[in-house]
């Protein structure tokens, strides 16, 4: 799992464009982790699309995660499932998963991050970093929450919410191992170019962090 840039594929954010084409652009540009997020379609309708996305990710060696739906993740052989605070807690979901499946958890406070850690999540998403149109009611916690959580766990931390190539460096420097993005890639005019911009900005932020770290 490489969470450096975690692209969330969402039909609403894609504004009618083909998610398979967006996935292809992300893979071509170097993205290594994606999530399928769907808030409207029932799982039966979503299944064929999820299967096609999973097949392409497997062929490319890209980690494929399903948002919310444990049953769908199992049915398509996804690499893992991502659960929000209103979904099953990791401690309840883990026994349902195949051995080795990745389990991610959304968190919005230090207490929730500690609980995700104690519940054996494999990575912790932290947000919202910045204001976001995708989730306008999302609690704004900012990179400062990452700074609070980082000393508490060695698990991968992923900043989410309003992240752009211009502010991603702030998120990485605050302690994130990567960032998750929806509209910034899925809704971009050129998803491949957007993916490359993010990856370049993330590498630059890591280089700067390494150079300025005390000996």
pLDDT in tens, 53-71: 999 999 999 999 999 999 9
Among all chains, which residue has been given the structure tokens 């097949």?
A: 55
Tell me, what's the pLDDT at 211? Answer: 55
* 191-211 residue pLDDT tens: 999 999 999 999 999 987 665
**Considering 37, 54, 105, 117, which one is annotated as catalytic?**
37
Among 43, 30, 36, which Cα is nearest to 8's?
A: 36
Q: Rounded CA gap, 159 and 202, in Å?
A: 12
In angstroms, what CA-CA distances link 175 with 102, 171, 195? 21, 7, 21
What average pLDDT values come out for the chain (215 residues) when binned by 10 residues? 97 95 98 97 97 98 98 98 96 96 98 97 97 75 97 98 97 98 97 98 87 52
Quote the distance between the C-alpha of residue 81 and its chain's center. Answer: 11
Instruction: Give the residue from 132, 125, 133 showing the smallest Cα distance to 108.
Output: 125
Buried b / exposed e along 94-129 (16+ C-beta atoms within 10 A) = eeebeeebbbbbbbbeeebbebbbebebbbbbbbbb
Do residues 46 and 72 make contact, with C-beta atoms less than 8 angstroms apart? Answer: yes
Query: Quick one: pLDDT at residue 139?
Result: 78
Q: Assess whether 135 carries a catalytic annotation.
A: yes
Predicted local confidence at residue 169, as pLDDT: 97
Q: Which pLDDT value is given to residue 215?
A: 45
Residue 35: which H helix or E strand, with range?
strand 33-37
Six token digits for residue 126: 């932290």
The conformation of residue 155, written as its DSSP 8-state character, comes to: S
pTM comes to 0.94
Helix (H, G, I), strand (E, B), or coil: what is residue 176?
coil
* pLDDT value of residue 135: 66
Query: Of the listed 4, 11, 106, 197, which one is catalytic?
Result: 106
Write b or e for each residue in 3-30: b if 16 or more Cβ atoms lie within 10 A of its Cβ, otherwise e: bbbbbbbbbebbeeeebeebbebbbebe
- Selected catalytic residue, list 52, 56, 58, 135: 135
Q: How far apart are CA 156 and CA 146, in angstroms?
A: 11
106 is catalytic: yes
């Amino acid at each position: 799992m490489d969470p450096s840039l975690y692209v969330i594929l969402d039909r609403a954010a894609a504004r009618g464009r083909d998610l398979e084409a967006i996935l292809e652009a992300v893979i071509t540009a170097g993205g290594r982790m994606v999530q399928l997020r769907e808030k409207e379609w029932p799982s039966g309708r979503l299944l064929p699309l999820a299967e096609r996305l999973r097949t392409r990710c497997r062929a490319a060696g890209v980690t494929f995660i399903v948002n919310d739906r444990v049953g769908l993740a199992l049915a398509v052989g996804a690499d893992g499932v991502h659960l929000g605070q209103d979904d099953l807690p990791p401690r309840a979901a883990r026994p349902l998963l195949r051995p080795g499946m990745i389990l991610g958890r959304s968190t919005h406070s230090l207490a929730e991050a500690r609980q995700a850690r104690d519940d054996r999540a494999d990575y912790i998403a932290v947000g919202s970093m910045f204001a976001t149109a995708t989730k306008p009611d999302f609690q704004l916690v900012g990179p400062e929450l990452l700074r609070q959580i980082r000393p508490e766990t060695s698990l991968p931390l992923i900043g989410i919410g309003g992240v752009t190539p211009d502010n991603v460096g702030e998120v990485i420097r605050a302690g994130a191992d990567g960032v998750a993005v929806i509209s910034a890639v899925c809704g971009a005019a050129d998803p491949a170019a957007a993916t490359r911009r993010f990856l370049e900005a993330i590498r630059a932020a890591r280089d700067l962090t390494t150079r300025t770290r005390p000996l």
